[in-house]
Chain A
Amino acid sequence: MTPVASDMWIRAGKRFLERCIELLLLIAALFSVAITCGIVAILIYESSGFFAHVSLTEFFTDTQWTPLFADAHYGIMSLVAGTLVTTCVALAVALPIGTIVAIYLSEFAPPLFRETVKPILELLTAVPTVVYGYFALLFVAPLLQRIIPGLPTFSMLSAGVVMGIMIIPYVSSLSEDAMRAVPKLLREGSYALGANRLQTSIGVVFPAALSGIGAAYILGISRAIGETMIVAIAAGMQPNLTLDPREPAATITAYIVQVSLGDLPHGSIGYQSIFAAGLVLFCMTLFFNVIGHVLRRRYREAY
């Protein structure tokens, strides 16, 4: 073989190797799609077994959820109510506090203070949720019982409050990033018109960063809906169709945990019911994730 020809072969080999590597990397990237497909497939497959027994009307209109009792009822609404109430309590804590923290850190606090406090605040997300559950049940619940007499040990209120504090950094960090991305010119224009710092923050910076702040709120909501261990430990495990946060109630996630703690035969209706509950949960978070995605995109386009 002439040197030129052998050189050509080496080059072809190299190119082939490069293609192989690219293919391997593509497969790794596609693996994440496979995970999503796996999730959707298994949820739909097992739920379809469930819905062969339970009609959709019963699923959405029955007021009781007792799949493991002899007199079985399958009304998902009592679990959805639990999820909504704990989520609302958490948001009532996290959204106002998170927003004020974001405005304070982005517009008011001295830089050194901000740079010190932000990492500490973000440590709140590093605490395992089972530890928060312990804290909600054994520290916050007794504390709340002193303020609200007659509050039971297990209540959606104590679980929701702790969940809310856990979510604060999710809301505040993203909102703060959005507010700091607002150009300085807008603030200076506002000052020039005689507005003070607070008026500028609320009247100019906040609206300008609104889609980013919206995305932060949505992230908080979807965290709260999917949160499991805090509610499983502190909110009680009994399905309870109520909107009163002072009562104990099971959420969708708590029900799934409760069932899997027991010994449930694979393929039974109880086993399938956790997948049906999971499907409802998945759809709820997907809905909020899609809105969040759209908002984030708009926020990126803004400046």
Chain B
Amino acid sequence: MISPKRLIQKVVTGLFGHMRHQSRQDQLFNVVGLACTLVGIVTLGALLIDLAVQGLGRIDWQFLTSFPSRHAARAGILSAIVGSMLIMLVTLFTAVPLGVAAAVYLEEYARKNWITTLIEINIANLAGVPSIIYGLMALGLLVYYAGLGQSILAGGLTLAFLILPIVIVATREALRAIPKDIRVGAFALGSTKWQVVRYHLLPYSMGGIATGVIIAMSRAIGETAPLILMGALTFIAFLPPSPVQSDPPFVNAEWLDSPFTVLPIQMFNWVSRPDPAFLRNAAATGLVLIAMTLSMNAVALVVRHRSRRRIHW
């Protein structure tokens, strides 16, 4: 066990020890650079502490299992949690197959022609489109033109479109990291292209794909603007019909049609009220939300670390 004093000493020599041999300018910049780096980290810390101070006392079983209410003390985030989960379900099952398939095509199948170039430029551009524009598209095309209404299905699809570029880019990077020998070897044993993809490339790139998907989902779960735009409601005092039921066929799709709210929209709704009691609710919701996104990011880090360690080419 290292004593606190030794620890501080070690950190200080680690950060500044090499400065002894540096010019005055370099020493100065070391301090400036460290200060600037700390700006971001201190802000993150201040944000977390502020949320915790305001909201931690508000989080209890009642808060997690109640519907929104006009009375701040009785209000809860049950419908928002369930809404977020169901939206994520739709997003996951749309974005992952589509994104992985598109990435496999671009990395393994595509020839160098204008269609491929078009798709590549298009994906790079889509990644830079602001999320609110996806909301406009969802409103115009999904909600009205396709007639999906302000439903969980429309919301989930919107977020799936939004994270599609992230999934594609992550999958392509994972595929690119697999050495060519693997493909050549499998072909030499008589595999078809699809067999190479199915039995070699996809299993080996699973870690990278999972990392990308988790990061993308953590972005989707915090996304507010597109869902507000397509008309997600802020006051939902009921739950959508359950996706599973006791009699055959055991699953039903009615929940896809249900109106919904999600955690960030619930938080936004409470932030825009002047009553401090509601602001505390907002802080508590933010805390739940940020706990979700940060833990997803942590899981992604672990998955990446593990999959890197396991594979030695």
- Residues of A bordering B, CB below 8 Å: 14, 17-18, 21-22, 24-26, 28-33, 35-36, 38-39, 42-43, 45-46, 97, 100-101, 103-105, 108-110, 112-113, 117, 119-121, 123-124, 126-135, 137-139, 165, 168-169, 196-199, 201, 219, 222, 225-229, 232-233, 253, 256-257, 260-261, 266, 274-275, 278, 281-282, 285-286, 288-289, 292-293
Contacts and interface: CB of A to CB of B under 8 A. Distances in A.
Contacts of A257: 132, 225, 228-229
B133 A32 contact: no
Interface stretch (B35-43, B239-247, B248-256): B35-43
A42 B33 contact: no
Given A31-B102, A128-B289, A281-B132, 12 more contacts: A36-B122, A36-B126, A45-B140, A101-B37, A103-B33, A121-B40, A123-B44, A128-B286, A129-B224, A130-B222, A138-B271, A289-B125
A64 to B, nearest CB: 23
Contacts of B297: 123, 126
Given A126-B297, A130-B222, A134-B286, A226 B33 contact: no
Interface of B: 14-15, 18, 22-23, 25-26, 29-30, 32-34, 36-37, 39-41, 43-44, 46-47, 50-51, 54, 97-98, 101-102, 104-106, 109-110, 115, 118-119, 121-126, 128-137, 139-141, 144-145, 161, 164-165, 168, 192-194, 218-219, 221-225, 228-229, 231, 264, 267-268, 271-272, 279, 282-283, 286, 289-290, 293-294, 296-297, 301
Contacts of A130: 222, 224, 264, 267-268, 271, 286, 289
Nearest to B230: A260
A260 B44 contact: no
B129 A233 contact: no
A124 B44 contact: yes
13 contacts: A28-B101, A28-B102, A31-B164, A42-B145, A103-B29, A127-B222, A132-B47, A168-B40, A229-B225, A281-B132, A282-B130, A282-B133, A286-B125
B223 to A, nearest CB: 7
Contact of B289 (A38, A105, A131, A169): A131
B10 to A, nearest CB: 11
Contacts of B36: 97, 100-101, 104
B33 A26 contact: no
Contacts of B225: 129, 228-229, 232, 253, 257
A135 B98 CA distance: 36
Contact of B14 (A28, A112, A288): A112
Contact of A101 (B30, B33, B267): B33
A193 B34 CA distance: 27
Nearest to A229: B224
**8 shortest A-B CB distances, which residue pairs?**
A226-B130, A104-B33, A128-B222, A28-B101, A25-B105, A42-B140, A289-B128, A228-B225
Contacts of B54: 138
Contact of A197 (B22, B50, B105, B110): B22
B293 A126 contact: yes
- A120, A128, A168, A197, most chain B CB atoms within 10 A: A128
Contact of B25 (A199, A228, A260, A288): A199
Given A31-B102, A42-B136, A233-B272, A104 B44 contact: no
A41 B122 CA distance: 15
